[in-house]
Amino acid sequence: MAITRAECQALDARDPLRDVRDEFALPPGIVYLLGNSLGALPRRTPERVARTVETEWGVHMGASWNTAGWWDLPESTGDRIAPLIGAGPGQVLAGDSTSVNIFKAVTGALPLRPGRRVVVSDLDNFPTDRYVVQGAVAALGSYEIRDIGSGAGLAGLEDALGDDVALVLLSQVDYRTGALRDMAAVTRQVHEAGAIMIWDLCHSAGAVPVEVGEADLAVGCTYKYLNGGPGAPAYIYVAPRHQEAVRNVISGWHGHAAPFAFEPDYRPATGVRRFATGSPPVLSYAALNASLDIWERVDLREVRAKSQAMTSLFIELVDDAGTDLVLATPRDPERRGSQVSYRHPDGYPVVRALADRGVVGDFREPDVMRFGFAPLYLRYVDAYDAATALAEVLREDLWRDERYARRLTVT
């Protein structure tokens, strides 16, 4: 092998992020490469959630809407997410799920381009992005969807862009392959065609230093690299230039200009607050905010450097092992997020056999094995152990055991 385990340990000893790992409660004996699906539990999270339950809810009760800042959680939490995506204060609102925020973004942005009736959607995007666009178009009527294949670097985009296109929705990092799109260049291209650009940042926030830049709107989740917990509040970014023009079609009372005036008719709040809808899940915000304490202390350039080094190391080690895996992730570290994916016709049982050996990745149809490298809590030695286990599972055909063929409900 190109590098020894001892050399990986030496890399860990020099890692500027090495102490951040202690912030996480990681089960022993596990190499957790699923942080791109559900991030690990920060040690401080249980205490923060317990405080919200026992003191804010249990003692101060309803007063906590004011005294504990519950009412303002969507904005205050959004302001803490903002630096992670290159946005400023008052530009990000935390709440709802990514799916709901996609619906709000798409239906809110389409009227900005009257007369244009086409939404460009990526065939390889995460399905919920496509499903929500399909639902929005069906609900609005008179719009149509133009699908592009993202495969070779969004090759279809140029041809799809015409003077009938109102809006383009894309993910910055492809969930299957981990390919990273040039957000600034694609946004420019879409704007030159006169359309609105909406980005899904689910697989990029916390994985790469995101710059929303000229993007019109963006959405993302916080339960992957941001470690906010299962089902943690998602977020929506609305560029300041659009905030007064974009309408929130799910116009609930939390986005009203005067919610406690209990007026019969909706009037939107100013700024990003108008994208709020209903009561925030306060306990989930508590968990997310505990994790954001950690993000506040880390330098995103160090996160990116470590992510690129770890993913490169993993790829080199798997190369050296001489398996029949096909790398699905770009080899150039500048062109990938923080995951490494391989194609293998029996990827599903391979991933299950690996999990039995303590290396947790996942599988995405039709043939993609994904290994996410969350730089806050993974070590170089983890990349080494994972590559070694993967090579062993393939070399010794360990995945052929029939118990690995059975599909789990959630994969």
Ligand X SMILES: Nc1c(O)cccc1C(=O)C[C@H](N)C(=O)O
Ligand Y SMILES: Cc1ncc(COP(=O)(O)O)c(C=O)c1O
Question: What part of residues 34-63 is at the interface with ligand X (CB under 6 A)?
Answer: 37
Q: Tell me whether residue 342 is one of the annotated catalytic residues.
A: no
Query: What is the distance between the alpha carbons of residues 281 and 278, in angstroms, rounded to a whole number?
Result: 9
Q: Which is nearer to ligand X, 39 or 255 (CB)?
A: 39
180 phi, psi to nearest 5 deg: -100, 125
Q: Based on the shown chain and the rule CB under 6 A, indicate whether residue 410 belongs to the binding site for ligand X.
A: yes
Could you say which of ligand Y, ligand X, none residue 2 binds, taking C-beta under 5 to 8 angstroms by partner kind? none
Q: 206 in helix, strand or coil?
A: coil
Least Å distance between CB 279 and ligand X? 21
Annotated binding site for pyridoxal 5'-phosphate: 98-99, 126-129, 200, 203, 223, 253
Could you say which of ligand Y, ligand X, none residue 410 binds, taking C-beta under 5 to 8 angstroms by partner kind? ligand X
Q: Based on the shown chain and the rule CB under 6 A, indicate whether residue 202 belongs to the binding site for ligand Y.
A: yes
Number of H helices, E strands in the chain: 12, 13
Q: Contact at 8 Å (CB) between 23 and 376?
A: yes
Q: Tell me whether residue 223 is one of the annotated catalytic residues.
A: yes
Q: Which is nearer to ligand Y, 17 or 34 (CB)?
A: 34
Q: Which is nearer to ligand Y, 171 or 341 (CB)?
A: 171
Could you tell me the two tokens for 379?
Answer: 């070590």
Catalytic residue among 126, 143, 371, 380: 126
Q: Based on the shown chain and the rule CB under 6 A, indicate whether residue 104 belongs to the binding site for ligand Y.
A: no
Q: Based on the shown chain and the rule CB under 6 A, indicate whether residue 126 belongs to the binding site for ligand Y.
A: yes
Least Å distance between CB 126 and ligand X? 6
Q: Tell which residue, 298, 331, 329, 337, has the closest CA to residue 84.
A: 298
How many chain residues touch ligand X (CB under 6 A)? 4
Q: Based on the shown chain and the rule CB under 6 A, indicate whether residue 225 belongs to the binding site for ligand Y.
A: no
Q: Tell me whether residue 224 is one of the annotated catalytic residues.
A: yes
Q: Based on the shown chain and the rule CB under 6 A, indicate whether residue 175 belongs to the binding site for ligand X.
A: yes
Query: What is the distance between the alpha carbons of residues 116 and 1, in angstroms, rounded to a whole number?
Result: 56
Query: What is the distance between the alpha carbons of residues 356 and 4, in angstroms, rounded to a whole number?
Result: 24
Question: What part of residues 110-149 is at the interface with ligand X (CB under 6 A)?
Answer: 126
Looking at residue 147, the DSSP 8-state letter turns out to be E
First to last CA, the chain: 31
Q: Contact at 8 Å (CB) between 220 and 204?
A: yes
Q: Tell which residue, 113, 272, 83, 283, has the closest CA to residue 191.
A: 113
Q: Based on the shown chain and the rule CB under 6 A, indicate whether residue 227 belongs to the binding site for ligand X.
A: no
Q: Based on the shown chain and the rule CB under 6 A, indicate whether residue 203 belongs to the binding site for ligand Y.
A: yes
Q: Based on the shown chain and the rule CB under 6 A, indicate whether residue 175 belongs to the binding site for ligand Y.
A: yes
Site for ligand Y (CB under 6 A): which residue of 79, 200, 362, 385?
200
The CA-CA-CA angle for residues 344, 225, 39, to 5°, reads 80
Q: 43 in helix, strand or coil?
A: coil
Cis amide leading into 264 (omega within 30): no
Site for ligand Y (CB under 6 A): which residue of 171, 187, 338, 341?
171
Q: Tell me whether residue 113 is one of the annotated catalytic residues.
A: no
Interface residues with ligand X (CB under 6 A) are 37, 126, 175, 410
Active-site residues: which are they?
126, 200, 223-224, 370
